[in-house]
Amino acid sequence: MSDSDDTRPDGIRVRIEDAPGLFGPGDAVLRSLGERFGVKPVYREGYLRFSGEDDAIERACGAVRELQRELRLTGRLDDQSLERVLRFSMSGGDGPELKVPGRAGFVVPRTPGQASYLKAVGRSEIVISIGPAGTGKTFLAVACAVSCLRSGAVERIIITRPAVEAGENLGFLPGDLQQKIDPYLRPIYDALNDTLSPQRVKRSMDSGVIEVAPLAYMRGRTLNNAFVILDEAQNTTVTQLKMFLTRLGHTSRAVITGDITQIDLQPVSRSGLVVIQTVLADIDGVEFVYLDETDVVRHPLVQKVISAFSRYTEGSGRDG
């Protein structure tokens, strides 16, 4: 039974064995919930009940569910994870909910930044998402693509990324071309397997409904009625990014993702993702979404690592 199987309008089930880690030392988390949402929490016989305004109770329950998820993923809660969850819930915690057939089930935004990202994808034909690792840029883009495919809004999904990372050169990697490029495309396959299933992904790729390929394969094509994703766009040149954007055909939409603190091109000024922030800034139908360390949904330490590197970069004057 999942944590939310016994959710009621005034509260949520919390297993007795999970309560100490969830509520914190001296029930500090419970007190924070009560203060931030203006509700009174009472835990009795495996059930956490809130009293207060209906809207406040709903948000408090949402915060508890998110804290339960965080606890399952990381085994512990800290001040940053609590603050992130509370901040999102206090902002309304609203955002599109995507139903996908894979093990992810329902995909919901977990931070205000992610909510803004999903809303942007829903209303704009081209969305450029810029932010650090762990903010869900690729996964949410793939989830949106799968949702659009299932609804019939598009007929196919095309996902691409440049084969330039970590200073490696494809020519020095072992194997044939497919074996050389697979490591660069692995994160995309992982996201597809989570939002569809390995079996559906294979069938869709065999039929051409889903295509995953290096960016160089996009040249000379026109991509009609497709949801197109360019991942790791910080490693594209201006010319490559222009080529990609001009591939879009009728009733297609594009999501471009990247992290401008992890540019592998030399010099980093060659990055097309940096340049297009100025070039495309005032074009209707093009929307930029910026995520930061507060949107990281991996292990809580990842937020701290990103913040530490940001301080180092700002203090030393070095770029990423």
Identify whether residues 298 and 275 lie together within a single domain: yes
Residue ending a domain, among 35, 56, 90, is: 90
Instruction: Find out whether 273 and 236 touch, Cβ atoms under 8 Å.
Output: yes
Identify whether residues 137 and 36 lie together within a single domain: no
The pLDDT value recorded for residue 41 is: 93
CATH of the domain at 22: 3.30.1370
User: CA 36 to CA 220: how far, in whole Å?
Assistant: 55
Instruction: Find out whether 27 and 40 touch, Cβ atoms under 8 Å.
Output: no
pLDDT in tens, 231-243: 999 999 999 999 9
Identify whether residues 154 and 263 lie together within a single domain: yes
Q: Which tokens belong to 168?
A: 């490696």
Identify whether residues 102 and 76 lie together within a single domain: no
Please check the confidence at residue 137 and state whether its pLDDT lies above 90. Answer: yes
Q: Is residue 4 part of a domain?
A: no
Q: Is residue 25 part of a domain?
A: yes
According to DSSP, residue 268 is labeled G
- Does pTM top 0.85 for this prediction? no
Identify whether residues 115 and 182 lie together within a single domain: yes
The pLDDT value recorded for residue 163 is: 73
User: CA 241 to CA 86: how far, in whole Å?
Assistant: 38
Identify whether residues 155 and 65 lie together within a single domain: no
Domain of 58 in residue numbering reads as 11-90
According to DSSP, residue 101 is labeled S
Mean residue pLDDT of the chain comes to 83
CATH of the domain at 163: 3.40.50.300
Q: Is residue 220 part of a domain?
A: yes
Identify whether residues 81 and 109 lie together within a single domain: no
Beta-bridge mates of residue 288:
128
Number of folded domains in the chain?
2
pLDDT band at 319 (very low <50, low <70, confident <90, very high): low
Residue ending a domain, among 55, 90, 125, is: 90
Residue 123, classed as helix, strand or coil, is helix
Q: Is residue 159 part of a domain?
A: yes
pLDDT in tens, 279-313: 999 999 999 999 998 888 766 566 677 678 777 77
User: CA 256 to CA 201: how far, in whole Å?
Assistant: 21
Residue ending a domain, among 90, 122, 145, is: 90
Length of the chain in residues, anyone?
A: 320
Please check the confidence at residue 173 and state whether its pLDDT lies above 60. Answer: no
Q: Is residue 85 part of a domain?
A: yes
pLDDT band at 1 (very low <50, low <70, confident <90, very high): very low
Q: Is residue 17 part of a domain?
A: yes
pLDDT in tens, 12-54: 889 888 899 899 888 988 888 889 889 999 999 899 999 999 8
Max avg pLDDT among 43-52, 88-97, 168-177, 289-298: 43-52
Please check the confidence at residue 93 and state whether its pLDDT lies above 60. Answer: no
Instruction: For 53-182, list the strands marked E by DSSP.
Output: 98-99, 106-107, 126-130, 156-161
The pLDDT value recorded for residue 4 is: 41
The pLDDT value recorded for residue 159 is: 95
Identify whether residues 157 and 298 lie together within a single domain: yes
Q: Is residue 1 part of a domain?
A: no
Identify whether residues 233 and 118 lie together within a single domain: yes
Least confident of 58-72, 141-155, 213-227: 58-72
Identify whether residues 83 and 102 lie together within a single domain: no
| Nearest alpha-carbon partner for 156 in 214, 221, 96, 229 | 229
Instruction: For the chain, list the strands marked E by DSSP.
Output: 11-13, 40-44, 47-51, 98-99, 106-107, 126-130, 156-161, 210-214, 226-230, 253-258, 286-290
Strand ranges of the sheet holding 126-130, from the earlier edge strand across to the other edge:
210-214, 156-161, 226-230, 253-258, 126-130, 286-290
pLDDT band at 174 (very low <50, low <70, confident <90, very high): low
According to DSSP, residue 107 is labeled E
What number is the average pLDDT over the span 252-275? 91
Q: Is residue 2 part of a domain?
A: no
Identify whether residues 122 and 205 lie together within a single domain: yes
Identify whether residues 138 and 205 lie together within a single domain: yes
